[in-house]
Amino acid sequence: MQFHLVVALSALCSASAFTAPAKTPSSSRLFVAAEPKNDLFVDATATQSSVQEYYGQTLATSDDLKTNACCTGDAPPSYIKQAIDKIHPDVKAKYYGCGLCLPQYDMTGARVLDLGCGAGRDVYIASQLVGPTGKVVGVDMTEEQLQTALETQTYHEEKFGYNNVQFLQGYLENLDQIPELKDQKFDVIISNCVINLCSDKKGVLEHCYNLLEEGGEFYFSDVYASRRVPQELQDDPVLWGECLSGALYWNDFECLSRDVGFDPRLVEDAPITVSNADVQRSIAEHGHEALEFYSATYRLWKLLDLEPACEDYGQAVIYKGTIPRYQSGWLLDKHHYFEQGRIKTVCGNTWKMLQDTRLKEHFEFVGNFDNHYGIFEGCGSSLPYDAQSSAAAGKGDATKGSCC
Ligand SMILES: C[S@@+](CC[C@H](N)C(=O)[O-])C[C@H]1O[C@@H](n2cnc3c(N)ncnc32)[C@H](O)[C@@H]1O
């Protein structure tokens, strides 16, 4: 029986106090966690080791990536850009995310968990957004990535004037076995280009559900495929490491997240251009040119009694225009942009996403759940992503205006 080590790294330890975690259980701070569950014919141990090697040793910076799968997305809003400007260059150089995974409302005081935080770029952005009354915990399995995060902790503390971040080493498949996360709840869980790399995706979603406070959300960017990725591509460690072949077929992901209790809401998406000749050849050799990849940001709220489909109860909401920086309108997801002052009809699940969360104070609510009028019109079931986008121009161009 093989064991995995989950090593807790001190919340407030300074860069100089950090020593690389041991590989064998030699200290009382080491915790032996059970082997992760297998899923979708993926060997969990082999997958984790090869991904660890890819992000720990193969890649030195985001320039070493072979595709733009792990580095896509439009330019972030200016307040996020300002937060990025304050981040240490070593952390920014090791950013491998595929989108903006920070919800756009006032996050002051929120408890945030970043799954697969890498070198910590999104942790340090969130640290600024939640302020000194909030906290941000980053979890990652790769020592080299966490080392950069920890080595720059004092730098960020001095820059922000406080330290509200903690980094933990562990596997996302075993989040329930990380002692520091026991009895903790989070308002927002974020993740940037990581779930596709995990061997047990449903298990990770279940851990997220358990770690979220009711009314909290899992807001994350990841890579999805237009159809199921064939086994021979899943077996290619470079394609997996580049965040491509571990990608879920979008409808499998949406069904999986409904099984766990969420109602997945797509916020934004962009096609991924595989411009690297070797990677293109590898996909073509297997005859899978028609396979398309997208980066997408979803939000999954933890709310009681969400229904499997959009049901119509004749309800409507009016946005008050009070979310900071979004006075004229605010986007919940790709299908719901709320203009200030305008009555908008919504299904029962959307109503709950607005009324039973921190968004409540920003909306007026019309109606209730007394009468049911059938399915809410426009509930779609075809590919939800747009084929064209501003980030579709290949790695070089996509990276210019991106979060990188
Ligand atoms: C594509 S990088 C993204 C890193 C970071 N989110 C960012 O935006 O820069 C993927 C990260 O996920 C981590 N990772 C992948 N699979 C993991 C797993 N099963 N458990 C914990 N961390 C994992 C890797 O170590 C790596 O740091």
- Whether residue 37 has pLDDT greater than 60: no
Residue 320: which of 105, 140, 78, 86 has the closest Cα? Answer: 105
Which DSSP helix (H) or strand (E) runs through 349?
helix 348-355
26 pLDDT tier (thresholds 50, 70, 90) = very low
Taking a C-beta distance cutoff of 8 angstroms, is the pair 2, 35 a contact? yes
Q: Which residue has the tokens 């595929």?
A: 98
Please indicate, yes or no, if residue 253 is contained in any of the structural domains: yes
270 pLDDT tier (thresholds 50, 70, 90) = very high
Please indicate, yes or no, if residue 77 is contained in any of the structural domains: yes
Min mean pLDDT across 80-89, 238-247, 294-303, 366-375 is at 238-247
Please indicate, yes or no, if residue 334 is contained in any of the structural domains: yes
- Reading phi first (left if > 0) and then psi (alpha if -120 to 50, else beta), residue 376 is in beta
Residues 184-198: tens digit of each pLDDT: 999 999 999 999 999
**What is the predicted pLDDT for the residue at 27?**
26
- Whether residue 259 has pLDDT greater than 60: yes
396 pLDDT tier (thresholds 50, 70, 90) = very low
Q: Residues 325, 284: one domain?
A: no
Taking a C-beta distance cutoff of 8 angstroms, is the pair 56, 23 a contact? no
Taking a C-beta distance cutoff of 8 angstroms, is the pair 251, 221 a contact? no
Q: Over the chain, what is the mean pLDDT?
A: 84
- Whether residue 4 has pLDDT greater than 80: no
- Whether residue 285 has pLDDT greater than 90: no
For the chain, how long is the longest CA-to-CA vector? Answer: 62
232 vs 92, more confident: 92
Residue 76 is classified by DSSP as P
How many domains is the chain partitioned into structurally? 2
Q: How far apart are CA 298 and CA 303, in angstroms?
A: 16
**What is the predicted pLDDT for the residue at 392?**
40
Q: How far apart are CA 12 and CA 108, in angstroms?
A: 21
Which DSSP helix (H) or strand (E) runs through 81?
helix 78-85
**What is the predicted pLDDT for the residue at 46?**
74
Q: Residues 201, 290: one domain?
A: yes
Nearest alpha carbon, ligand 1 atom 11: 116
Query: Which CATH number goes with the domain that contains 348?
Result: 3.40.5.100
- Whether residue 176 has pLDDT greater than 90: yes
**What is the predicted pLDDT for the residue at 388?**
61
Cite the DSSP H helix spans in 214-331: 231-234, 237-241, 250-260, 277-285
Per-residue pLDDT averaged across 299-311, rounded? 95
Taking a C-beta distance cutoff of 8 angstroms, is the pair 256, 202 a contact? yes
Nearest alpha carbon, ligand 1 atom 26: 118
Nearest alpha carbon, ligand 1 atom 10: 194
Tell how far the Cα of 194 is from the centroid of ligand 1, in angstroms: 5
Please indicate, yes or no, if residue 218 is contained in any of the structural domains: yes
**What is the predicted pLDDT for the residue at 284?**
81
**What is the predicted pLDDT for the residue at 395?**
37
Which residues, listed in sequence order, are joined to residue 151 by a DSSP beta bridge? none
Could you give the count of Cα atoms lying within 13 Å of 369 in the half-sphere of its Cβ?
Answer: 11
Domain that holds residue 342: 315-366
**What is the predicted pLDDT for the residue at 311?**
95
Query: Residue 145: CB within 6 Å of ligand 1?
Result: yes
Q: Taking the model in full, what pTM does it have?
A: 0.85
- Whether residue 11 has pLDDT greater than 70: no
Q: Which of 5, 102, 194 to mutate to test the pocket of ligand 1 (most atoms within 8 A of CB)?
A: 194
**What is the predicted pLDDT for the residue at 156?**
98
Q: Residues 226, 105: one domain?
A: yes
Nearest alpha carbon, ligand 1 atom 4: 118
394 vs 309, more confident: 309
Q: Which residue has the tokens 């709310």?
A: 303
Taking a C-beta distance cutoff of 8 angstroms, is the pair 70, 240 a contact? no
Picking from 302, 336, 357, the residue at the C-terminal end of a domain is 302
Q: How far apart are CA 316 and CA 313, in angstroms?
A: 9
- Reading phi first (left if > 0) and then psi (alpha if -120 to 50, else beta), residue 220 is in beta
Picking from 274, 302, 330, the residue at the C-terminal end of a domain is 302
Query: Residue 173: CB within 6 Å of ligand 1?
Result: yes
Q: Residues 295, 152: one domain?
A: yes
- Whether residue 205 has pLDDT greater than 60: yes
Residue 39 has a CB neighbour count (10 Å cut-off) of 17
Q: Residues 151, 176: one domain?
A: yes
Nearest alpha carbon, ligand 1 atom 12: 116
Residue 57 is classified by DSSP as I
